[in-house]
Chains A and B, each alone.
Chain A
Amino acid sequence: MKTLFDKVWDSHVVKKIENGPDVLFIDRHMVHEVTSPVAFLGLKSRNIGVKHPEKTFATADHNTPTINQHLPVKDPLSANQLKALEENSKAHGISYWGLGHEKNGIVHVVGPEYGITQPGATIVCGDSHTSTHGAFGAIAFGIGTSEVEMVLATQCIMQPKPKSMRINVVGNLNKGVTPKDVALYIISQLTTSGATGYFVEYAGDVFKNMTMEGRMTVCNLSIEMGARGGMIAPDEKTLEYVKGREFTPTGAAWDKAKAYWDTLYTEEDAKFDKELTFKGADIEPMITYGTNPGMGMGIGKDIPTAESLEGGVSTYKKSLQYMAFNEGDSMIGKPIDFVFLGSCTNGRIEDFRAFTEIVKGKQKAPNVTAWLVPGSHKVEAAIKEEGLLDILTAAGFELREPGCSACLAMNDDKVPAGKYAVSTSNRNFEGRQGPGSRTLLASPLVAAAAAVTGKVTDPRELL
């Protein structure tokens, strides 16, 4: 009896090395400017090319500015990395969606948008949030630069097969609870290392009822509990989403692919190495208070005391010291300085719809700097077409141009030292959004509530 993960993994094993890793064939390789230049240099020094340029897709996102993208990039180091990606893509015949290209955007946003991401595929990228693509029932995970070189050179990767975990969330979600909250809740229960060594399948009504974009948000955050990746079995909703996109097969190829996709589910008696079940009804809108994504809680709760936690007390205290929070503090009412809506976690159209739902008819708080950054040009266009931009503008917000932006602050969008940002991104590590910055991870609804009140606010009060 096979799990969904077993089916996809096993069908991609070119060779099993005795006492060693599997040689796994990769269907889609996404490439961006930060983790690829040294890999291309490696190819050059070996005097070899890219084995399957047609399975390789390059986009610029980590370094890109979010204003004036039509002008030359000011930071010379960023400009140099972007140029390297363009030249390497051209030299090897890889499709390249650079700055200014209509399809440009964050690698994990544009992959699904154009149908590069498909059920049952193996997908890798030199970025840990590649786990996003698991929402389609793909095996998708982040790799290092040596492995990027490996995939460019051979279209294969060498990996031991991870253990399997199923996380069930049953029942229904309460009002104001989003897919981001579901993911932050699971991470808070498992800790940031709780799923290390595992590949996760998410199952249960909560995920069945979730939109494709919501599933992407959940799978995106799998890496934050240590998992290599997360996946959700494809269903009617998945096929409906995939159909008609540029790189999606059509005609006879569609029928063939669909026949394969229809086999992608976990058989009833299949065994997982570990299985956990949570109740959707137990989940509240979440917020983090510390310096890793596992340090999160229901927004109405108080910050736990070190005494109530197991082990790592000095690390825990160091973390609260960095945030300038005290054990037992309430998060509600804490003043904030920045709001960031965007990233591969929450930079899709549904996230902008959720944000707009709260700020509609209200005004941005004067003490808040808000960076609203769509995940792609396609998202940007939808924000305008659906009239969301008009609502946002009336409420005192501006829209920026697409990219990773303040999620990891490799461009100019840096939160200053000591300032607090409510962020829809994926990591609250020390200095993640700029040296000395303090990040509170939350959903687009929580971010919107903070943006209009200037402090941490339960969004259910504004819905």
Chain B
Amino acid sequence: MAYDKFNILKSSVVPLPIENVDTDQIIPARFLKATERKGFGDNLFRDWRYNADNSPKKDFVLNQDKYSGKILVGGKNFGSGSSREHAAWAVYDYGFRCVVSSFFADIFRNNCLNVGVLPVQVSPEFLEKIFAETEKDADSQVEVNLQEQTITIVNIGDKESFDINAYKKENMLNGFDDIDYLLNMKEEITAFAENTPL
């Protein structure tokens, strides 16, 4: 699935200072029944976002007018649990292009990279600073520069570097996907398959 290229993203953030946000919260299982990849953003954080009668929960961050932006900032161990890529689709479909946390679950991180959402892992201290700045000023901006692999809290100028696999970085900068790469290796893979023991 091709997606938009990612280079520099400057945006206000949506803060979610909760640890161990699992993929069942990002998109509950009952919304996984689609056979096409569309409309998942409507159910992003469904049970935290809406009451049982579908009225919005006023205190949840996505329902507060003062917070908006293309960067979601979550607590430690973001995206644990199920392998459902629907969670990353929901994040993307809602309008986020980047998720920041001090720690990501493996499969969620991979899924994000495969669908055009950049996972940025920062130190716990830096994460706290983002939360603090956003609490002071909901319009506080954060700038993510993929080429340089840096994230900056614009108001205070604090900057940190983040890691990303060089190959994945190239893909995100160019909007490429892995399958194109593998399809070009067809002969190599066929030759390998003939010699596998199982």
Contact = CB atoms under 8 A, between A and B. Distances in A.
Interface of A: 11-12, 14-15, 17, 19-21, 23, 25, 27, 34-35, 37-38, 41-42, 46, 48, 51-52, 62-63, 75, 77-78, 80-81, 84, 118, 120-121, 126-128, 130, 142-147, 149-150, 153-156, 158-160, 162, 192-193, 196-197, 226, 228, 256-257, 260, 292, 311-312, 314-315, 318, 408-410, 417, 427, 429-432, 435-436
Interface string B38-54: 00000000010000100
Contacts of B105: 193, 196, 226
Given A196-B77, A257-B198, A147 B185 contact: no
Contact of B20 (A35, A48, A162, A192): A192
Contacts of B111: 144-146
A155 B52 contact: no
A35 B188 CA distance: 28
A197 B106 contact: yes
A155 B80 contact: no
Interface in B139-193: 165-168, 177-179, 181-183, 185-186, 188-189, 192-193
A128 B177 contact: no
B36 interface: yes
Contacts of B33: 34, 63, 75, 77-78, 80-81, 410
Interface on chain A toward B: helix, strand, loop, or mixed SS? loop
Contacts of B35: 37-38, 41, 80-81, 84
B24 A410 contact: no
Interface stretch (B7-15, B63-71, B81-89): B81-89
B28 interface: yes
Given A52-B193, A144-B85, A292 B22 contact: yes
B114 interface: yes
B53 to A, nearest CB: 12
A111 B196 CA distance: 20
Given A20-B166, A35-B83, A196 B25 contact: no
A147 B83 CA distance: 11
Given A46-B179, A410-B33, A14 B189 contact: yes
Given A128-B83, A158-B182, A226 B106 contact: yes
B114 to A, nearest CB: 4
30 contacts: A14-B189, A38-B36, A41-B35, A41-B37, A42-B1, A77-B33, A84-B35, A120-B198, A121-B198, A127-B82, A128-B81, A144-B88, A145-B111, A146-B115, A147-B110, A147-B114, A149-B179, A150-B179, A154-B179, A156-B185, A193-B103, A196-B104, A196-B105, A226-B77, A228-B107, A292-B20, A410-B29, A427-B22, A429-B25, A431-B47
B166 A260 contact: no
Contacts of B85: 35, 38, 126, 144-146
B30 A409 contact: yes
Interface of B: 1, 17-20, 22, 24-25, 28-30, 32-37, 47, 52, 75-77, 80-86, 88, 103-107, 110-111, 114-115, 165-168, 177-179, 181-183, 185-186, 188-189, 192-193, 196-198
Contacts of A62: 29, 32
B22 A417 contact: no
Given A80-B33, A260-B197, A430-B47, A192 B166 contact: no
Given A146-B179, A193-B103, A429-B81, 11 more contacts: A12-B196, A14-B189, A37-B34, A128-B107, A144-B114, A150-B179, A158-B182, A408-B29, A427-B82, A436-B47, A436-B52
A346 to B, nearest CB: 18
Contacts of A160: 165
A192 B110 contact: no
A153 B183 contact: yes
B109 to A, nearest CB: 9
A9 B64 CA distance: 47
B99 to A, nearest CB: 15
B80 A292 contact: yes
B165 A20 contact: yes
A63 B179 CA distance: 29
A25 B192 CA distance: 8
A435 B54 CA distance: 13
A127 B85 CA distance: 10
Contact of B196 (A27, A41, A193): A27
Nearest to A260: B197
Contacts of A408: 24, 29, 82
A92 B105 CA distance: 33
A312 B17 CA distance: 10
Contact of A435 (B1, B28, B75, B196): B28
B77 A193 contact: yes
B83 A154 contact: no
Contacts of A147: 110, 114
A315 B36 contact: no
Contact of B107 (A25, A63, A81, A143): A143
B163 to A, nearest CB: 11
Nearest to A227: B106
Given A14-B189, A20-B168, A144-B107, A432 B29 contact: yes
Contact of A143 (B19, B28, B83, B188): B83
A45 to B, nearest CB: 9
A426 B192 CA distance: 36
B189 A25 contact: yes
Contacts of B32: 34-35, 62, 410
A63 B33 CA distance: 8
Nearest to A408: B29
Contacts of B86: 145
B137 to A, nearest CB: 22
Contacts of A78: 33
B198 A27 contact: yes
A18 B191 CA distance: 21
Contacts of A143: 83, 107, 110
